[in-house]
Structure 1
Amino acid sequence: MLAQCTETWNSLPLWGKVAVGAGGVVLAGATLKNVYGVSQTHESGIICKNWKNDVVYLYQFPRSPYLPNASPFCLKLETFLRYAKIDYEVIGSMNHWSKEGKLPFIELNGVQYHDSDFAMEMLVDHFKLDHLEADLTDEQRGMTRAMFKLAEQSLCEAMIYNRFLENMDGFFKAMGFSVNFLQRAIVGRFLTKKIRARVNGAGIGRHSREEIYLIAKADLEAFSLLLGDNEYFFGNKPHTVDIIVWSVLCQSYYMPFDNLIRTYIITHFTNLDAFITRMKEHFWPDWDQMLLKKPVKI
């Protein structure tokens, strides 16, 4: 398909390339800033004017046809809200970004809070949620920080490589985007360049394909060993660390295309396979109702 797109693109007159390219850049920019925080625009001021006291307004990427959100950071923050039993409303839109130009972000009582981790910390303070993790030892709290970084700064980068640089068509399908083949050609070229720069900057992109998946497999093995025979990482009840790791694992596990990360989980790390399903059933009994029903036309 990519070869056909490229051939058609090369046959277009200059004005045609400009028209199609403009639409492609808009879509590519929206995709990058929503899913991975690459943006040059931001929202100024509070968005929800008629807010209700102590209701969280969650701004995030629109739903996906395959999981509630195809951004690990959006999925993490919404699942945390469910974990903490906080009243919230979702605004799934490509029209609102935080003051930093990123998603997700929240508004609470007329104040905007950006970054999923800072938002979660604020929610713990505001709603006095220290009891949620009060049963953890100091060692487990340290492990939570280490596992958080392993999930979101190592395994997540391998997932980004897999999703964008190896499965671009599957990515559009996963996001629920309805794009024609010309948009696919332009957006694919734009995203490939940007994502390549991102993973190279993170370091992982400078490795060979084989080495990248060896890193991903090693990360998965570490999580599998830490989980062991437990239902959750620290016993028989979920904590924030479970939400963090699960939100990243879901991004490969529920994709509508074959990928090595999911294959590793299913064939080598069956306790993670069961963990993913267990978390889904615990926090998302309404999973099917939360999926995108109609494609997003660009």
Structure 2
Amino acid sequence: MSSKTHGVTNPKPSGATGWLTIPAPLARLFKKFPLLTYPPNELPIRSPRVRDVATLYVFISDQDALSGLPSFNPSCLKWQTFLKLAGVDFQLIPSNNHASPTGALPFLMPSSSPNSFAAPLPIPSNKLEQYAAESGTHKISEVPSLKLEAYESLLDHRIRNAWLYSLYLSRPNSALLSRLYVTPVSASQIVKATTLYQLRHAAEDQISRSIGTPAVDSKRLYDGAREAFEALSTVLGSGDWFFEAPEPSLFDSTVFSYTHLLLDQGLAWEDRRLTEIVSEFPNLVEHRNRILQKCWGQGLG
């Protein structure tokens, strides 16, 4: 998400989201000194310098990374799942966008050895499909692009917009947002307040640009998400995988990255509107459970 901020000059209409209320001194500071996006840092110091296995850097807690559990971030979980489906051997390292040499998560560092003459270059997410094809042990189903475009648009816009609203802007989910993205940043209350402001501002800005209006209406977003999930349920039908593919594809991983996180009881959603929408479609729930079993086995709720 971008960290750029701008002022709000018009009051929000009824039903639209409001800005994060922050202490007045911080608000004045933001007006005088707009927040900047700094260039990415070098690899984290704790990154292993010699790797006999590839390393995937994602949003995840330290404990969950050690256990190889799913990331709590949809973009990271999409590629984590896809690599597992492709049979790529990798370990997880907790990270963040500012610590990424590519400027965003996830990214992957290929395996290396002490005899390597040059350090491997990080692989950004848009190159992971090719990496999986070259390094994985399982063949991933390919879906004709003409079938994908309309359904990918549903995921990239309607479902993503509702996700952003639910996690970042819905007040009942503030505790979850803080646990995932704010508390790990710093113990400083000022830093936490600043981080929360940035996250909510960036989410609202992304939604506004996607829908083409400054007014963010939660009901319209959730209605749009329901229509999108209904369309996905229809195209999945009674099959195991989307588009009647013999094995799961990248598209299956993308759908799973949202349905799993919305159905994951461990996240403790307070605003459960999106969770309830997904639950309306049993075949999407079963699809999520199938990938969960295939990639992580028993034991995840």
TM-score by length of 2: 0.70
Verify: 1:63 aligned to 2:71, yes or no: no
- 8 Å contact kept, 1:154–1:216: yes
Q: Using the alignment, how far apart are the partners of 2:149 and 2:139 within structure 1? A: 18
Q: Using the alignment, how far apart are the partners of 1:287 and 1:205 within structure 2? A: 43
Select the residue among 96, 112, 115 that pairs with 2:121. Answer: 112
Aligned residues: 255
Amino acid at match of 2:209: G
Q: Using the alignment, how far apart are the partners of 2:187 and 2:42 within structure 1? A: 33
**Structure 2: stretches of 5+ with no match in the other structure:** 1-19, 30-34, 113-118
TM-score by length of 1: 0.70
Select the residue among 240, 246, 249 that pairs with 1:239. Answer: 249
Q: CA RMSD of the aligned region, Å?
A: 3.7
1:73–1:95 distance in 2 versus 1, CA, 3 Å: closer
- CA drift at 1:190: 3.4
Match of 1:226 in 2: 235
- 8 Å contact kept, 1:62–1:94: no
Comparing 185-194 with 237-246, greater Cα deviation is found at 185-194
- CA drift at 1:286: 6.2
- 8 Å contact kept, 2:83–2:136: no
Q: Using the alignment, how far apart are the partners of 1:70 and 1:131 within structure 2? A: 26
- CA drift at 1:218: 1.1
Verify: 1:200 aligned to 2:200, yes or no: no
Select the residue among 151, 161, 165 that pairs with 1:161. Answer: 165
Q: Using the alignment, how far apart are the partners of 1:252 and 1:228 within structure 2? A: 20
Select the residue among 167, 178, 189 that pairs with 1:172. Answer: 178
Select the residue among 72, 87, 90 that pairs with 1:88. Answer: 90
- 8 Å contact kept, 1:64–1:175: no
Select the residue among 274, 277, 284 that pairs with 1:261. Answer: 274
Match of 1:26 in 2: none
SS, match of residue 76 in structure 1: helix
Amino acid at match of 1:86: V
How is 1:1-298 mapped onto 2 (pairs within 5 angstroms)?
Answer: 9=23, 39-44=37-42, 48-52=48-52, 55-63=53-61, 68-94=70-96, 97-108=99-110, 109=112, 110-124=119-133, 126-127=134-135, 131-133=139-141, 136=142, 138=144, 141-166=145-170, 167-174=173-180, 177=183, 182=189, 185-203=193-211, 206=214, 207-233=216-242, 234-235=244-245, 237-254=247-264, 255-257=267-269, 258-266=271-279, 268-285=280-297, 288=300
The structure carrying a bigger helix percent of its residues is: 1
- CA drift at 1:120: 2.1
- 8 Å contact kept, 1:65–1:176: no
- 8 Å contact kept, 1:39–1:101: no
Amino acid at match of 1:243: S
**Structure 1: stretches of 5+ with no match in the other structure:** 22-28, 30-37, 292-298
Q: Which has the higher contact order (CA 8 A, sep 6+)?
A: 1
